[in-house]
């Protein structure tokens, strides 16, 4: 694996990419053509039915009203979001193709597997949108009652405990890898193509444990007794389940991860367009309807400047680099 750049280098490269956009000959049209002059595609890099898909659709409607053109959702799922992000990297940088994604296809997946895009040069971060805690739950196939029971079972029966995530190199996978490393257990990873498809298999007990972004539907299954709440990756316990400990409280500080989602454009998108999009997304995030929907889904609104989003991406990549280096062999 090649030497990875520091956070400072990443921030500088991203800033240069944004600044240089205005000089690229293939986007000279921006000087004479009003933007947007046609519908905007918003690539959701996960399957329909998951938390991210639902929130992207919530975001799209008021954003379309702000921009004055339709914002069309297009799901491009697979490979932990990398397939959709590759489609974005190949898109014309005219501001009419965007992607809604967690930052993990940029900050985590390239540290574990080859990706067909350059995570430092292929994208222009536009705006952060939301933070989502990660739930760890036991399915009907899990015979224990707590996270300690999960670890005990994994130690007594190496490989027998199956833990599903929404894909390789996702935040849920990072949680699993760090738990395996610290507990020195053999837990079988079951990667899915996204958050939605794994729910039916979880409910029918096709595996014992699931790490998933927190959402109202999953919480309903916990309240109804179909899932057992084991832990949450979040800065603090979540209001909906105050008795459920964080992974940090359980002694798994490195596994205590949440997901940051945002909007991205292709690199070389005109800087003025990226700035306009950032302003519009931040305005939309202040709307009470969007904030209410975020709260209903137990997500935390993010937002802020392009520069702050770039910095968060660089910080997360640096953190993940250290975690992956410390857990080599666990990310299969």
Pairing of strands 258-266, 97-102: antiparallel
| Residue 288 to residue 81: CA distance in whole angstroms | 29
Q: What is the pLDDT of residues 125-137, one digit of tens each?
A: 999 999 999 999 9
Q: What is the pLDDT of residues 30-46, one digit of tens each?
A: 445 689 999 999 999 99
Q: What is the pLDDT of residues 193-204, one digit of tens each?
A: 766 678 899 999
CA R_g for the chain: 20
**Which pTM does this prediction carry?**
0.78
Kindly list the structural domains of the chain, giving each domain's residue range(s) and its CATH number in brackets, ordered by start. Answer: 7-132+260-326 (3.40.190.150), 133-255 (3.40.190.10)
Say which range, 54-68, 97-111, 251-265, 311-325, has the weakest mean pLDDT. Answer: 311-325
Pairing of strands 162-165, 209-213: parallel
Question: What pLDDT, on a 0 to 100 scale, did the predictor assign at position 79?
Answer: 86
Q: What is the pLDDT of residues 225-277, one digit of tens each?
A: 999 999 999 989 988 899 999 999 999 999 999 989 999 999 999 999 999 99
Say which range, 96-105, 223-232, 292-301, has the weakest mean pLDDT. Answer: 292-301
Question: What pLDDT, on a 0 to 100 scale, did the predictor assign at position 209?
Answer: 98
């Amino acid at each position: 694996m090649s030497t990875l750049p520091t956070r400072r280098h990443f921030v500088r490269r991203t800033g240069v990419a944004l600044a240089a956009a205005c000089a690229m000959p293939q986007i000279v049209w921006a000087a004479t053509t009003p933007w947007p002059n046609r519908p905007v595609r918003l690539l959701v890099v996960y399957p329909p039915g998951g938390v991210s898909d639902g929130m992207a659709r919530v975001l799209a409607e008021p954003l379309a009203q702000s921009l004055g053109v339709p914002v069309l959702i297009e799901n491009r799922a697979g490979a932990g979001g990398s397939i959709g992000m590759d489609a974005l990297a190949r898109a014309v940088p005219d501001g009419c193709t965007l992607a809604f994604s967690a930052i993990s296809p940029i900050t985590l997946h390239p540290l574990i597997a080859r990706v067909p895009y350059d995570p430092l040069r292929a994208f222009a971060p536009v705006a952060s949108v939301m933070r989502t805690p990660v739930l760890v739950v036991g399915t009907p196939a899990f015979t224990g009652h707590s996270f300690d029971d999960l670890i005990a079972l994994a130690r007594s029966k190496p490989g027998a405990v199956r833990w599903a995530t929404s894909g390789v190199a996702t935040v849920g996978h990072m949680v699993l890898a760090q738990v395996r490393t610290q507990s020195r257990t053999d837990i079988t990873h079951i990667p899915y193509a996204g958050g939605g498809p794994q729910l039916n298999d979880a409910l029918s007990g096709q595996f014992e444990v699931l790490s998933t972004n927190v959402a109202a539907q999953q919480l309903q299954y916990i309240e109804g007794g179909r899932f057992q709440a084991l832990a949450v990756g979040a800065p603090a316990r979540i209001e909906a389940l105050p008795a459920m400990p964080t992974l940090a409280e359980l002694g798994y500080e490195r596994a205590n991860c949440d997901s940051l989602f945002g909007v991205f454009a292709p690199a070389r998108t005109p800087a003025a367009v990226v700035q306009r999009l950032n302003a519009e997304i931040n305005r939309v995030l202040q709307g009470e309807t969007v904030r209410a929907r975020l709260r209903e889904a137990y997500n935390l609104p993010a937002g802020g400047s392009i520069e702050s989003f770039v910095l968060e991406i660089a910080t997360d990549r640096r953190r993940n680099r250290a975690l992956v280096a410390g857990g080599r062999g666990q990310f299969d």
